[in-house]
Structure 1
Amino acid sequence: MPMKKKSVEKRIYQLKITLRGIRPPIWRRIQVRSDTSLYLLHHILQTVMGWDRAHLHEFFVFGDSYGDSKFMEGEVLEEKNVTLGQLITGEKERFRYLYDFGDSWEHEIVVEKILPMESEIRYPVCIKGKRACPPEDCGGAPGYENLLEVLKDPSDPEYEDVLDWVSSDFDPEEFNLELINKILART
């Protein structure tokens, strides 16, 4: 069992989450409480990134692996039993979040700031982001790049099928902060 650092005072962690392997980058900036478990952080990340919670995931923090131990094999620590405040003590610390072991969506998470809690703000909150999340099951970063290329060319033989799959209103540049925060308010 890893040594856990304890933080008694509730603080706010400002995190920047960047989806690796995609250019231009897809990222979000969120603020969460220090007593947020990795289990809850998974649900928050799913919301802010636009994923559907349809696949397994894993956190990698300072050499340890955390996830839902009921569904994972090997040396995986239970994510429900640990909070950000127990693991993260300083700004600029980094850890990773892997979603969908088939498509391998790897996210880098950087602790940008550790702030005092403000009573008038409801946490978690997304404060900024760029670009839409790739659709589920599109084949990881290479599959997403191919999907974007097909969508640029209506004469491509796959164009109609891809358009039906992602929906005609899919815009890879869209980021809807207001909608994300409405969903987070229910968390």
Structure 2
Amino acid sequence: MDIFNAEAGADQESILEVRVVLIDSEPEIWRVFQLRSSLALNQVHQVLQTAFGWEDAHLHRFVASDPFAPLRPVDGQFPEVLQWLPGQECEEPGDRPEEDCSLDQLLALGSAEAFYEYDFGDSWLHRLELVSRRPADKDSPPARLIDGARRGPLEDSGGFPGYEEIMDALADPRHPDHAEHSAWVADITGSDAPFDPAFLDIPTVNRTLAEQFRRTRSGEKRAK
């Protein structure tokens, strides 16, 4: 399934309001989306990458329950833990192709909750929570960001401990690592402008999502 190709069956689907929180963020980093229920998980992956400022440079997975919670045996046996990955990366018995599972299906498995982990080294874990649903109409975009707080952490910053260390150094010109971390952030962001961890440009995120959708539709028309 192609990214953002979610128009088929619009009369039968819903618009889901989904709140996504980056677990362990303090202050909290979060987003609220309106998403078509038929979006496949590979599409949701792209939406989250755009909204949190990730660069799709690492592995990711979706799971229906907290992947780090202790497992509890059922009838003396531990249940199979399912995870949804890009189809070409499915190797274990519990792996499922993310292209074959919709957002609505995953949330139903997790009782209106699901998890998305990006970068298994830094382990950026996001909790997806279904807030509400309403019928979709033909003008409903596949994905729209309606609210949120703070930009996502920088790629390869070492999880929250590393990211917080970098932010502390940036905020204090007298910090011994201020110059080194400032140069690293400028290289990662491609800008010498001051880095503001509280900044979130919702209109730009939505323009990017809309453009991604338009490009996909244009590509489909050319293919026909």
Cα gap change, 1:72 to 1:86, in 2 (>3 Å): closer
Greater per-residue helix proportion: 2
Kept in 1, the 8 Å contact 2:62–2:115? The answer is yes
Kept in 1, the 8 Å contact 2:87–2:99? The answer is no
Kept in 2, the 8 Å contact 1:91–1:114? The answer is no
SS state of the match for residue 84, structure 2? strand
Kept in 2, the 8 Å contact 1:95–1:110? The answer is yes
1:5 is matched with none
1:179 is matched with 204
Q: Matches of residues 5-154 of structure 1 in structure 2 within 5 Å?
A: 9-62=12-65, 63-74=81-92, 75-89=94-108, 93-154=112-173
Identify which range, 43-52 or 71-80, moves more after superposition: 71-80
Shift of 1:72: 4.9
Kept in 1, the 8 Å contact 2:107–2:114? The answer is no
Cα gap change, 1:113 to 1:58, in 2 (>3 Å): same
Kept in 1, the 8 Å contact 2:87–2:96? The answer is yes
Greater per-residue strand proportion: 1
How far apart, in 1, do the equivalents of 2:177 and 2:110 lie? 46
Shift of 1:90: 9.6
Indicate the structure (1 or 2) with the bigger Cα radius of gyration: 2
2:194 is matched with 169
Amino acid at match of 1:170: F
How far apart, in 2, do the equivalents of 1:76 and 1:89 lie? 18
How far apart, in 2, do the equivalents of 1:97 and 1:144 lie? 19
Cα gap change, 1:164 to 1:14, in 2 (>3 Å): same
Amino acid at match of 1:148: M
How far apart, in 2, do the equivalents of 1:103 and 1:182 lie? 28
Shift of 1:122: 2.2
How far apart, in 1, do the equivalents of 2:123 and 2:163 lie? 12
* Alignment root-mean-square deviation, CA: 2.0
How far apart, in 2, do the equivalents of 1:79 and 1:100 lie? 16
TM-score (norm 1): 0.89
Amino acid at match of 2:148: G
Identify which range, 46-55 or 88-97, moves more after superposition: 88-97
How far apart, in 1, do the equivalents of 2:25 and 2:106 lie? 28
Shift of 1:137: 0.2
% same residue? 33
How far apart, in 1, do the equivalents of 2:31 and 2:83 lie? 23
Shift of 1:89: 4.3
Work out the number of aligned pairs and report it. 180
How far apart, in 1, do the equivalents of 2:177 and 2:106 lie? 46
Runs of 4+ deviating beyond 4 Å: 89-92
Kept in 2, the 8 Å contact 1:91–1:112? The answer is no
Kept in 1, the 8 Å contact 2:87–2:97? The answer is yes
1:155 is matched with 174
2:189 is matched with none
How far apart, in 2, do the equivalents of 1:107 and 1:21 lie? 9
